Amino acid sequence: MKFILSTAIIVSLLFTKNVEARWKPTPGMTWNYVLGDDNFNVHSEKAQVIDVDYNKSASTIQEYHNAGKKVICYFSGGTLEKHRKDFAEYKKVDGLVRNKYEEWSDENWLDIRKEGLKPLIRSRMKEAVSKNCDGLEVDNLDGFQQSEVQSWSNPLTKADTITFAKWLGNTAHELGISIGLKNALFMINEVGGYFDFAINESCATLSHPECHLYKPFLSEGKAVFGVSYESRMSGNTDLCSSLNGINISMIVKKDQYLRQEGYIFDGKSECGSSFKTGKYFNINIYKYICIYIYIYFLIFKID
């Protein structure tokens, strides 16, 4: 009986290990956001994780891996950019490509409810997997909050966005790649479990502080990668206040062009000795400990 039980447990653990094989970044890992830098020099980069466009070649991503970096690959899920090689395929889907995204004039909003979008997104994910990207950043999931989308006769809703986000998470995991939740704090409680890490822009502003909303996410041992733009900040005052006790990995950039230049925020050196990085007990580790104790009891206590 013990032998049969032990064998079943071992098989179960091996299956679990296979499921968990995808990369899962942890709080405190440093990162750099370099989407806009065609001259990025990985050999001078100090960050552990880099975020680049998914159109990078497989050989370039391998070069990053050879330098010891983990690579997050970016594409927009809620808009269509004119320079994308699959632009024509998107345009073929009736009703998918909608009006212009005014903040970024080369992009158009997408109706994420269209079933024809799914194979296009899946194809992009597969390409990222084939290039050995470690994770995905899928941008622009907040369309329903934007005035251009609200002007539609049948605009997107929060419920539509949650459904789409869950599909993104499930699809990425089916393909064996991790995925980050980009901004979209309005649905973090509903969809956080479908994502392996988070990426946030400008949560550390005193005018609209949101970094604290990531505490439950961090407590699950999931990394939160943040970027702050100097043009939107009041010096380090915003960062020192918003990040005290919250272990978000923050990179500070001059502007939104996202070149390599910038600095990794170090709370202790920038804010003083009273600054606390924030330590979180990983609840998933606790779950595994309980499982192993239970397994031990079953193996050695059953006659």
Render each residue's pLDDT in the chain as its tens digit; 303 residues.
Answer: 444 444 444 444 444 444 458 999 999 999 999 999 999 999 999 999 999 999 999 999 999 999 999 999 999 999 999 999 999 999 999 999 999 999 999 999 999 999 999 999 999 999 999 999 999 999 999 999 999 999 999 999 999 999 999 999 999 999 999 999 999 999 999 999 999 999 999 999 888 899 999 999 999 999 999 999 987 776 788 899 999 999 999 999 999 999 999 999 999 999 999 999 876 555 555 555 656 565 656 666 655
For residue 280, the number of C-alpha atoms closer than 13 Å in the C-beta half-sphere is 21
62 and 92 co-located in one domain:
yes
Residues 238 and 294 in one domain: yes
Q: Where are the beta strands (DSSP E) in the chain?
A: 31-33, 49-53, 70-76, 79-81, 97-100, 107-110, 135-139, 178-182, 197-201, 224-229, 249-253, 263-264
**278, 243: one domain:** yes
Whether 8 is covered by a domain: the verdict is: no
CA distance 88 to 256: 28
Q: Are residues 212 and 123 in the same domain?
A: no
**Together in a domain, 42 and 187:** yes
- Number of domains present in the structure of the chain: 2
Q: Which domain holds residue 149?
A: 29-174+183-191
DSSP 31-72: EEE-TT-TT--GGG---SEEEEETTS-HHHHHHHHHTT-EEE
Torsion angles phi and psi, residue 73, rounded to 5: -110, 130
d(CA 17, CA 141): 31
d(CA 8, CA 278): 39
In a domain, 232, yes or no: yes
Q: Nearest 5°: phi and psi at 281?
A: -75, 125
pTM over 0.85: yes
Q: Do residue 146 and residue 272 come from a single domain?
A: no
